[in-house]
């Protein structure tokens, strides 16, 4: 049996490796496509400069030559790939430095925001959805149906502005940014608390934006599982209801939920982009917006690729979870 287990484990790893390779190919495809797209764009950082009468044509030409913008397209793409390998990811003209060091803190902040939100949304959705699945009629059912419908229809922009209003009005929470003034001087514990307080508004917006859909899926999946004969059998054995729901029915409903985890990440990252800009959370969103407004193309490519990487990583995580939970997936390799 041990040998069989090892073989299954190897198969699972092979499946995962294949998925990772697929993700890598996608990433390369996206990089090529977005690079080509941005090269097609009329004008660049330096052509904006040309509007300034004090800057001569020759200066602009010289600047373009210095940053290699006068080279043929394939060479520029390869140079850019090489600079990704060095961790530079091209050069930001507006900041006058490589993109990489600008990007990584932003990726970390976006990851902190979206990671916290996903975790909280699921922690909320699982018990709430399970509770809902056991109450299919009555005021609780109608109330949850109405509430989730309202939250699903609530536009993200209105939601985050509303939360911001609440924060500013009550003064209980910081209204924007990620840290307070003097954050650097605080002791370690106070710093954590400071960031946590700044997280409340954006995380609440993201959780309220994501959780309703999760709750509905958890409820639907569990409702189906609770109708299955093995649940009736478990109940007939006199097992407590809580054990029946979480121990017997939930694992049976787990597969689509794990797939949902992967699928919901794209929406979460999109919403996060908007939320970050509105509450000035220093993540990928504000950086991308700033880069677009400055027509700083390598700086545009950074967040775009980073978001693809985050999404691919999340999907890979979902695949790994699925493989761990469901042995049937391994055999279809």
Which residue's structure tokens are 């990851």? 111
**Which one of 30-38, 125-133, 185-193, 231-239 is the stretch in contact with other proteins (CB under 8 A)?**
30-38
Q: Is 35 exposed, middle or buried (0-12, 13-18, 19+ CB in 10 A)?
A: buried
Distance (Å, rounded) from C-alpha 152 to C-alpha 209? Answer: 7
Residues 124 to 183 in contact with other proteins, rule: CB under 8 A: 149-150, 152-158, 161, 164-165, 168-169, 175
Residues 6+ apart with CB under 8 A from 253: 218, 221, 222, 224, 225
223 lies in the binding site for other proteins (CB under 8 A)? no
User: What is the crossing angle of helices 99-133 and 138-153, to 10°?
Assistant: 160
Residue ranges of alpha helices (H) inside 41-97 are: 45-49, 57-66, 73-85
Q: Is 295 in the site for other proteins (CB under 8 A)?
A: yes
Give yes or no for residue 311 binding other proteins (CB under 8 A): yes
Q: Is residue 69 a contact point for other proteins (CB under 8 A)?
A: no
What stretches of the chain adopt beta strand conformation (E)? 91-92, 97-98
Write out the two tokens for 194. 């400071």
Q: Rule CB under 8 A: is residue 106 a binding residue for other proteins? A: no
Q: Can residue 203 be called a binding residue for other proteins (CB under 8 A)?
A: no
CB 290, min distance to other proteins, A: 11
Please report whether residue 250 would count as binding other proteins according to CB under 8 A: no
Contact call for residue 267 and other proteins (CB under 8 A): yes
Closer to other proteins by CB, 88 or 156: give it.
156
Of 109 and 234, nearer to other proteins (C-beta) is 109
- d(Cα 214, Cα 220) in Å, to the nearest integer? 10
Residues that bind other proteins (CB under 8 A): 26-27, 29-30, 33-34, 37-38, 40-43, 149-150, 152-158, 161, 164-165, 168-169, 175, 265-271, 273-274, 277-278, 288-289, 291-293, 295, 297, 300, 303-304, 307-308, 311-312
């Amino acid at each position: 049996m041990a040998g069989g287990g090892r073989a299954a484990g190897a198969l699972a790893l092979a499946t995962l490796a294949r998925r990772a390779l697929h993700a890598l190919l996608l990433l390369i495809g996206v990089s090529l496509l977005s690079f080509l797209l941005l090269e097609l764009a009329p004008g660049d950082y330096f052509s904006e400069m040309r509007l300034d009468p004090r800057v001569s044509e020759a200066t602009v030409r010289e600047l373009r030559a210095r940053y290699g913008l006068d080279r043929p397209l394939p060479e520029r793409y390869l140079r850019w790939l090489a600079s990704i390998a060095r961790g530079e990811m091209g050069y930001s003209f507006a900041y006058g430095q490589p993109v990489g060091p600008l990007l990584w803190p932003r990726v970390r902040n976006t990851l902190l925001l979206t990671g916290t939100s996903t975790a909280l949304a699921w922690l909320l959705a699982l018990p709430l959805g399970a509770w809902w699945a056991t109450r299919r009629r009555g005021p609780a059912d109608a109330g949850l149906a109405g509430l989730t419908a309202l939250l699903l229809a609530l536009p993200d922009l209105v939601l985050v502005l509303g939360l911001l209003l609440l924060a500013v009005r009550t003064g209980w929470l910081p209204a924007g940014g990620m840290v307070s003034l003097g954050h650097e001087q605080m002791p370690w514990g106070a710093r954590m608390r400071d960031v946590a307080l700044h997280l409340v508004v954006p995380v609440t917006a993201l959780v309220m934006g994501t959780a309703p859909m999760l709750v509905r899926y958890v409820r639907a999946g569990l409702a189906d599982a609770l109708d299955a004969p093995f649940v009736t059998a478990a109940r007939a054995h006199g097992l407590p209801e809580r054990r029946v729901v979480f121990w017997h029915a939930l694992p049976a409903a787990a597969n689509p939920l794990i797939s949902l985890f992967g699928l919901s990440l794209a929406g979460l990252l999109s919403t996060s982009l908007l939320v970050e800009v509105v509450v000035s959370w220093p993540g990928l969103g504000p950086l991308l917006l700033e880069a677009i407004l400055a027509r700083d193309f390598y700086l545009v490519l950074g967040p775009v690729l980073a978001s693809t990487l985050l999404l691919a990583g999340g999907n890979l995580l979902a695949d790994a979870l699925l493989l761990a939970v469901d042995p049937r997936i391994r055999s279809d390799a």
